[in-house]
Amino acid sequence: MWQEYAAAHPQAVAASPEYTIEHFGDSQRLADDLLSLVLTGRKRATAELVADFIARGDEVPRIGSHWVACDGRGVPRIVIRSTELRLGSFACADAAFAADEGEDDLSLESWRREHRRYWTRVSIAQGRQWSEEDEIVFERFTVVWPPRHAD
């Protein structure tokens, strides 16, 4: 998939040649559910703890960086390119970001509730404790591959 994208968009790849291969969430079901939201166009943002990037040995993304998003079985499905990034604490999330993340009822209240649950669960599984003061990468993105065809 990456080679096809690179052949079709050599300038974008030349500007940011490194990419990661990832999936959303921490389970097969969550990965598939969140990927489905991206594929429908509802989800155009994501948030991840800086500690999770460090735990995987990944760099924090940069504007223009790419990642290959896989489904819950690890099959590459799309290439995503970061369009906006900011670092902040849990309190830095706002209603616009919650809506762009495209989950649940799109409200900031549900974003906070579900991300508290998620980051608490993920942090415990990695042997650490999550705090609302932990640094978060707030990322907006666009799907750049495969190309969308007009219906």
- The total number of structural domains that make up the chain: 1
Chain segment 66-91, per-residue pLDDT in tens: 999 999 999 999 999 999 999 999 99
Name the pTM for this structure. 0.93
SS3 assignment, position 79: strand
CATH of the domain at 115: 3.10.400.10
Identify the domain containing residue 87 by its residue range. Answer: 2-145
Q: Is residue 150 part of a domain?
A: no
Give tens-digit pLDDT for 129-151: 999 999 999 999 999 999 886 54
CA–CA dist 89, 135 (Å, integer): 5
Query: H or E stretch including 112?
Result: helix 108-125
Answer yes or no: are the C-beta atoms of 70 and 31 closer than 8 Å: yes
